[in-house]
A and B are shown apart, each in its own frame.
Chain A
Amino acid sequence: MMLAALIALIVSMCLLLIRALMGPTLYDRVLAVNSFGTKTVLLIGLMGFVMGRSDFLDIAILYTLINFVSTIAVLKFFRYRSFQVPLARRGESRAEAPVTGGEPNA
């Protein structure tokens, strides 16, 4: 039972890896990484269940947080081509934010 669940997770990880390798666009790859992080979280949770260590769930939660933050960072990078742009700026609507390329602060 456990083995079946673990194997299923590994198979889905392989599929995501293929998507990350072949992915024609960047967004395919970002999505693959994000889903891969989710699969890792699930795998750690399941391993904790198999090994009888319920404290693995805390680690799984930390992985979820890291996965979320790094996905936001990568997507922000793709949107602005820079990390130097705050996500929310006072006194400026989002429509005015630069969409592609260039120096956002210039």
Chain B
Amino acid sequence: MSSEVMGEASLSIIGVLLLCLLFVMGVAIARLRNLFAIVILSGIYSLVCAAWYILVDAVDVGFTEAAVGAGMSTVVLLGAILLTSRTAKPERRLARLGPFAVCVAAGALLIYATADLPAVGDAGSPANAGVGLTYLKINWADTGVPNVVTSVLASYRGFDTLGETVVVFIAGLAVVLLLGFGERALGETLRKRKKEDETP
């Protein structure tokens, strides 16, 4: 029993420490001007995010965050740096006020919207009535996965998720074929053909 309590306590301490790391990184990303460093830090940010998602038992979200945030978006952002400069322009003080006002307004709207949400664990809320309740009842016996959302996503709607993944994969493949990487790229082929036409 005491080891269980120790485990619980250590997990909550780890959660707090991970969130502190996230805060430090967020401030650093906002303050830095070197775009390479910002991209690299956002990769680390995604990794810590993914670790925290797994800590709070949202395994599927952590999976997606690691694949998209740490893997894909780092590469895409590095590709975007190719098209622009290596450091951000120094900002004017007054120019910060506009985005700040937009952020505050959006945050205030979101907080205002939470007033309408049902309380956590409210038995009468739509999520806990009907099909949600059924899933909560049969999930553990069916799949043995502690997180109901994960089990619905990956087990009850497994084929649906598989189909989505296939669609996204085909879309990505089509984009890569059109824009392309390396010598197979369509743009590269066209450029080569043009060069061959110009040189007799």
Report yes or no: B21 in contact with A17, Cβ–Cβ below 8 A: yes
Report yes or no: A37 in contact with B47, Cβ–Cβ below 8 A: yes
- Inside 8 A of B55's CB, which chain A residues have their CB? 47
Interface residue? B135 (CB, 8 A): no
Q: Which range contains the number of B residues in contact with the other chain?
A: 35 or more
Q: Smallest CB–CB gap between A84 and chain B, Å?
A: 6
Report yes or no: B40 in contact with A29, Cβ–Cβ below 8 A: yes
In the complex, residue of chain B having the shortest beta-carbon distance to the beta carbon of A21: B28
Contact of A20 among B44, B50, B74, B183 (CB under 8 A): B44
Contact of B182 among A13, A37, A40, A85 (CB under 8 A): A85
In chain A, positions 1-38 with a C-beta closer than 8 Å to chain B are 2-3, 6-7, 10, 13-14, 17, 20-21, 23, 26, 29-30, 32-33, 36-37
- Knowing A6-B14, A21-B41, A47-B14, say if A73 contacts B74 (CB, 8 Å): yes
User: In the complex the two chains form, what is the Cα distance from A62 to B47 in whole Å?
Assistant: 12
Report yes or no: B62 in contact with A59, Cβ–Cβ below 8 A: yes
Interface residue? B181 (CB, 8 A): yes
Report yes or no: B82 in contact with A73, Cβ–Cβ below 8 A: no
In chain A, positions 69-106 with a C-beta closer than 8 Å to chain B are 69-70, 73-74, 77, 81-86, 89, 105
Q: Could you list 11 A-B pairs, sorted by A, with CB under 8 Å?
A: A2-B6, A10-B14, A17-B21, A30-B40, A36-B47, A74-B74, A74-B75, A77-B79, A81-B82, A82-B82, A86-B182
